[in-house]
Structure 1
């Protein structure tokens, strides 16, 4: 089932924030280049597919950045954030069309590559995401 932007809930974007944080924090350090890559990708790739706004008038896709920043400030472990995303994915697969999964993979790949290429921890996180999306 393909999903249109109009019926994707805010919780979807919040959980993407968790996943993208997990990718950036996979090596236990969230670098400025990873944060900058995320913000650029949210604006370029995620905002255009979402036309709804939250109660403050902001595009709900910016929840990705809000959750990412909050997890970073809290010092959340990457595996914990990934598990939260995984739990959401398993129970809400109807929001994850092939096109959305491709966009998610591309965003994770760009975050991982933004600082000196991909390291072992980031490659493992990408592999876990690939396996999750194969289920």
Structure 2
């Protein structure tokens, strides 16, 4: 896997971790929703048909897990890392991929006691960014 591919998958893991941790905690329901989306939606995504799906998706998960094991989560830093990466690599983000990213983020946020204020703000920022061309 090339470095740029690894960066791409890692930044997705960071984004999904940021959504889960935006309220300063990650609960089992959020992790389970995230894993379910990876197994059911991401593995079937058209964007990954020409790549090694499993390795990329595994990298997304491993990044999320590594961040979740750290003591002091800073979700805003990881969210900003995603935004910066996306702005510098727009060509990697097809319409379908943007929809998949958004639906995954919303599924994570909805998985435990619905969306709280901090999650709503982050999701609104994400959706605005994903609508940009």
TM-score, normalisation: structure 1: 0.85
Contact 2:24 2:73 in 1 (8 A): no
Match of 2:33 in 1: 37
8 A Cα contact 2:19 2:109, kept in partner: yes
How many residue pairs get aligned? The number is 125
Please list every run of 5 or more consecutive structure 1 residues that lacks an aligned counterpart in the other structure: 1-7
Alignment of 1:57-96 (within 5 A): 58-74=54-70, 75-96=72-93
**Given the alignment of the two structures, is residue 109 of structure 1 paired with residue 83 of structure 2, yes or no?**
no
Aligned residue among 95, 99, 106 for 1:98: 95
CA RMSD of aligned residues (A): 1.7
Query: What whole-Å deviation, never above 9, does each CA across 1:22-45 have from its counterpart, x for those lacking one?
Result: 000010110010001111111111
- For residues 100 and 125 of structure 1, the distance between their equivalents in structure 2, rounded to whole angstroms, comes to 18
- TM-score scaled by structure 2? 0.86
Looking at structure 2, the residues matched to 69 and 88 of structure 1 have their Cα atoms a distance apart, in angstroms, of 20
**SS, match of residue 41 in structure 2:** helix
